[in-house]
């Protein structure tokens, strides 16, 4: 098992407020100090997808002059990681609005003591008026989701993914990302060809399906904590759009050889 000495973290930004970004960076700086005390190198970069509130003085790895959508932004970000002179051992992707930077320490600890190549951190959408589920129920839901990935079970996937357990918090060993990247890029092209428009959402989900099929014995999941959902995520219209997008990405995954 290779020691973790060098980490790169990327965060896509589009319509997040400056206050949200600054608060997020405070958490990132705390993580940087703690990892530095362990002798682990840490670099964080934003992926600017036409963001209006992202100051240029911040570390930015990808710059889009206009919004091109999350899928293209992430693809460009993952490709840009391989252009960095000193390649990392781990590549971690998290968002400003629903992911806790402190969990990066959990990721590093977990990957330091396991053979996981790709790690996903599902969060639970929760508001203060709701009763929190027991951890045993969350773990059971994660197990059900994992069992629905290979072979793919659209019904179970739709019931769980994004609506209840968003999985945008992801970590890759650099070798695993290198293995998956050609299919990730091909998936974007397949989507464009099949549907006549660029993919703007769903790359996180496609990556989960690809990893489950390409390196199934090397996937792992760790609970990423509680997250307050954006109100729009609760609307019927949003839920139906998510269903359609999941079905589309399942089709794309099948064309890429996933079962």
- Per-residue pLDDT tens over the stretch 248-257: 889 999 999 9
Structural domain boundaries in the chain: 6-255
Query: In 3D, which of 100, 229, 231, 238 has the Cα closest to residue 169?
Result: 100
Rounded to 5 degrees, what angle do the CA atoms 145, 147, 152 make? 90
Query: In 3D, which of 211, 259, 251, 202 has the Cα closest to residue 73?
Result: 202
Report mean pLDDT in 10-residue bins for the chain, 259 residues.
90 94 97 97 97 94 93 95 96 93 96 94 86 93 93 89 83 97 95 84 90 92 84 66 84 92
pLDDT score, position 217: 86
Q: Which 3 state secondary structure label does DSSP give 167?
A: coil
**Radius of gyration, CA atoms only, the chain:** 17
pLDDT score, position 116: 94
Structurally, at CATH architecture level, domain 6-255 sits in Alpha-Beta Complex (3.90)
Query: In 3D, which of 23, 149, 31 has the Cα closest to residue 90?
Result: 31
pLDDT score, position 234: 59
């Amino acid at each position: 098992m290779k020691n973790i000495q060098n980490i790169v973290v990327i965060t896509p930004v589009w319509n997040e407020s400056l206050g949200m970004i600054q608060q997020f960076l405070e958490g990132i700086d705390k993580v940087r100090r703690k990892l530095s005390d362990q002798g682990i190198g840490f670099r964080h970069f934003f992926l600017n997808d036409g963001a209006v509130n992202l100051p240029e003085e911040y570390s930015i790895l990808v710059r889009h002059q206009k919004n091109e959508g999350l899928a293209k932004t992430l693809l460009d970000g993952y490709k840009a990681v391989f252009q960095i002179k000193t390649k990392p051992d781990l590549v971690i992707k998290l968002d400003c609005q629903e992911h806790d930077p402190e969990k990066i320490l959990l990721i590093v600890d977990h990957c330091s003591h396991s053979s996981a190549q790709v790690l996903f951190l599902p969060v639970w959408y929760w508001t203060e008026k709701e009763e929190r589920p027991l951890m045993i129920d969350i773990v059971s839901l994660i197990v059900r989701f994992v069992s629905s990935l290979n072979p793919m079970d659209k019904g179970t996937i739709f019931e769980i993914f994004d609506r209840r357990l968003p999985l945008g918090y992801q970590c890759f060993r650099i070798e695993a990302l290198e293995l998956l990247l050609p299919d990730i890029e091909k998936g974007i092209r397949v989507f464009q060809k099949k549907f006549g428009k660029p993919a703007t959402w769903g790359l996180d989900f496609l990556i989960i399906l690809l990893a489950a099929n390409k390196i199934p014995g090397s996937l792992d999941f760790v609970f990423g904590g509680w997250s307050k959902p954006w109100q729009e995520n609760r609307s019927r219209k949003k839920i139906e759009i998510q269903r359609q997008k999941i079905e589309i990405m399942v089709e794309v995954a099948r064309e890429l050889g996933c079962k």
